[in-house]
Structure 1
Amino acid sequence: MIITVTLNPALDKTLVLKKVSMGEVNRVDTTRNDMGGKGINVSKVLKELGMISAATGFLGGILEEIFRKELKSIGITDEFQSVTGSTRTNIKVVDEERKEYTDFNEPGPEILPEELSDFYERYHALVKEGDLVVLSGGVSQGVPKEIYGILTKMAKEKGARVLVDAEGEALVQAIQEIPFLVKPNEKELAGIVGKESLSVDEMIQEGKKLVQKGIQLVLISRGAEGSILLTGAHTYVAEGLKVPVRSTVGAGDAMVAALTFGLEMNMSPKEMLTFAQASGAAAVMKEGTQAATKEEIYAHLKEAERKIKEWNK
C-alpha cells in the first residue's frame, strides 16, 4: 500500500488576476478551490495514475468534513486524525501580466499532545511491511520538529520504504533516520548545509553525501532548470521542459507522486527521473493544485527522456 502523510493540510484558494496592484482594490478574474497539502497532492496524482493510496495526517474545523467528502469522492482512503483546531486556508495569487505567483500560507492548527499521541497510534497500526510511505510538507504548531525522523524510524521498523519531501529541521531529522528517498529542492538542500545557494557541482556533491549515508535515491528539484537524481551507481541531470506555466504550486508534489509510482512499478532510476520530469511539467500547466491527468503526463515523456544526461565529471 502507498501511504501519504500530510501533517498540515490546507484548502488552496487560487486567485487569478490580469495584474495585481498592491495597496489598491483588485478585481479577481477567476478563482478555484482545491483540497491541498503536499501529501494529499501526491495522493491526487497517484489516483490519476491509477494507484490507490491511503492519506493520513490531521484535519479539523469547518473544512474537515469538506476534505473527508472530497477524499471519498476522489477514491483516496481517508485515515486522517480529527483535531480540535481548524484546518488552514492558503491563498495563491496569480499575476498573469507579470507571470508572478505569490502564496499566502496560514500556519495551521495547534496539535494537542493527546491528538499527537492518537496519531502515532493510528500511523503505527496503518503502516505494514512492504508499504511506501510519503512524508511531505510542513508541520502544524504543537508537532515536534523531529516528527519526520520519528515517523521514518517507525515505518522502517515495520519494513516500509519512506520517501521524504520536506525542508529545514524536518528534513534534517528525517535524514538522520535514513529514509529510502529524499526530494529536496535546491533551496532546501542549500539550507540544510548552511548556504544561500549551491552550484550544480555543489548540489551533486551534497547529494552524493546523502547517498553515502545510505539513502538510496536523492532527487534535487530545480524548478524550470530541471532536476538531478543521484543513486549509488549513477548521477542523472535533467534539463527542464519548456511549457506554459499556469501555476507552480504542486509541481514538486507531482514529481514525488511520479517517484512513488516508479518505485511501485519497479522502474529504473532513469525511468523514474523521466516520469518525474514529465509529471512536474504537466503539473505547472494546470491551474491551482489540480492534478494532471495520466494522458497529460505521458504526453511529455519522450521530451523528458531526451533531456536527461548522465553526469560523468
Structure 2
Amino acid sequence: MIMTVTLNAAIDKTYIVPKFPIGEATRAGRPLVHPGGKGINVARVVRQFGMPSLATGFVGGKNGEAITDMLSGLDVGHDFVRVAGGESRLCLTIIDEASGRATELLEPGPPVTARELSELKRKVELGARRSKVAVFSGSIPEGIPSSVYRELIAAAQAAGCLTILDTSGDGLVQGIAAKPFLIKPNEHEVARLLGKPLEREEELYPLFGRLLAQGIACAVVSLGAQGCIAAHNGTLYKVPAPRIRAVNTVGCGDSFVGALAVQLASGASMERALIQAAAAGAADALTFEAGFVRVEDVKRLAQEISVMRL
C-alpha cells in the first residue's frame, strides 16, 4: 500500500471554455469536479495503477465531507483528521481552449490546531506501518510550522516506510533535514535550493552532490516538457519527456510522483521507475482532469522514453 499525506486537501473544479477574456462574463458548462490537493491526486493515480492507497491529512466542514465521499467512490482509502476551524478549500482551474492556457484560483485551507496536528502525526505513524511508501505533497496550511514535513517524514521512516517529499519553500528545506528517500521539486521550486532561478541543467549537478551528502538517496527535478534530471546513489539520469499535444498540464507532477511511488513500492529499478513516472506525467497532460491517467496511455508513452546516464 502507498500512503499519501495532503495537508491542504481541496475540491478541484475545472472549467473548459472556448475563450477566457479577462474582465468579461464567460459562460461555462458543467465543471469537472474531483477531490484534490497534491497528495490526493497522487493517491488517485496510485489506484489507477491498481495499487491500494491510503490518503490522510486534514479536511474540514461540508467540503471535507464531500472530499472523503468522492474518495470512497473512487475506491481510495482515507483516514483524515477533521479540523474544527473551517472548510476545506475550493480550487478552480479555467482552461482557455483558444490559447491552451490554464488559470488556477487556489483558496487557502482552514487553520489547524496543535491538537489536530498531533492527531495527524498519530495517523501517519499508524499508516506508515501498513505502507511501503509514504508520499508527502503540497502546501502547508495556516497554523502549521514549516517543520511539519520534517516531523512527519521522521515518523514514517521510524515505521520502516520509504518516503517521498514533493513540496516547496521552507517546507522543502525543512523536510530535507529528515532525509527522505526522494525529493521531487520542479524547475521553479528547485530555485529555493539553488539560491537562484535555474538557467541550465548543469547547475543541478553540484546541488545533487550536496543533497546526496546530506543523506537524500534520490533527487528528481522535473522540467515540464523537457522531462527530468535525477540523481540516485551517485548516478545521474536524464529522462526526456515524450512528445504530446497537452490539453491540461495541471497535476502532471502529481501523476509523475504517483507512478514513481508505485514503481518503488513494487521494487522496480530506478531507471524503470523514472520511465514510468515520465510517461504518467505526460499521460496526465492528455486529459482535462488533473491527477488522472489512462494506463494504456502510460504504457504507450513509456515505449517512447529512454533514460540517459550522464
After TM superposition, the score normalised by the length of structure 1 is 0.95
Secondary structure at the counterpart of residue 121 of structure 1: helix
Taking the aligned partners of 1:31 and 1:71, their CA distance within structure 2 comes to 18
- Separation in structure 2 between the aligned mates of residue 226 and residue 290 of structure 1, nearest angstrom: 18
In structure 2, the gaps of 5 or more residues are none
Whole-Å separation in 1 of the counterparts to 2:205 and 2:130: 32
Alignment of 1:168-183 (within 5 A): 168-183=169-184
What is the Cα deviation at residue 123 of structure 1?
A: 2.1
> Which residue does 1:43 correspond to in 2?
43
User: CA separation in 2, counterparts of 1:7 and 1:290?
Assistant: 17
Asked whether the 8 Å contact 1:164–1:171 carries over to 2, the reply is yes
DSSP 3-state at the match of 1:148: helix
- Greater shift after overlay, 275-284 or 114-123? 114-123
Q: Is the 8 A contact 2:34 2:70 kept in 1?
A: no
* Distance in 1, Cα, partners of 2:262 & 2:238: 20
The 2-side partners of 1:269 and 1:147 are apart by 28
Per-residue CA deviations over 1:112-135 (Å, capped at 9, x if unaligned) read: 222112222222233217631100
Q: Determine if the alignment matches structure 1 residue 89 to structure 2 residue 90.
A: yes
Superposed CA offset, 1:279-310 (max 9, x none): 001001111225112222111111023xx311
Runs of 4+, deviation exceeding 6 Å: none
Partner Cα distance (2:88, 2:171) in 1: 20
* Residues 29-38 or 126-135, more deviating: 126-135
**Is the CA contact 2:10–2:67 (under 8 Å) kept in the aligned structure 1?**
no
1:266 Cα deviation after fit: 1.2
Distance in 1 separating the partners of 2:177 and 2:40: 25
SS in 2 for 1:8: coil
- The Cα RMSD (Å) is 1.5
- Structure 1 residue 30: Cα displacement: 5.2
Q: Look up the match of 1:203.
A: 204
Q: How does 1:156-167 map to 2 (within 5 A)?
A: 156-167=157-168
Contact 1:246 1:287 in 2 (8 A): yes
In 1, the alpha carbon distance for the partners of 2:55 and 2:291 equals: 17
Question: After alignment, is 64-73 or 219-228 more displaced?
Answer: 64-73
Deviations 1:218-274 (A, max 9, x none): 111000111112112421112222111111111000110111111112111111111
Identical residues among aligned pairs (%): 33
Report the more deviating stretch, 125-134 or 72-81.
125-134
Q: 1:29 offset after TM fit, Å?
A: 4.7
TM-score by length of 2: 0.96
Larger deviation, residues 52-61 vs 233-242: 233-242
**Number of corresponding residues:** 309
Inter-partner Cα distance in structure 1 for 2:226 and 2:212: 22
Distance in 2 between residues matched to 1:29 and 1:304, nearest whole Å: 36
State the AA in 2 paired with 1:217.
C
Structure 1: segments with no counterpart, 5+ residues: none
1:1-313 matches, cutoff 5 A: 1-29=1-29, 31-84=31-84, 85-128=86-129, 131-305=132-306, 308-311=307-310
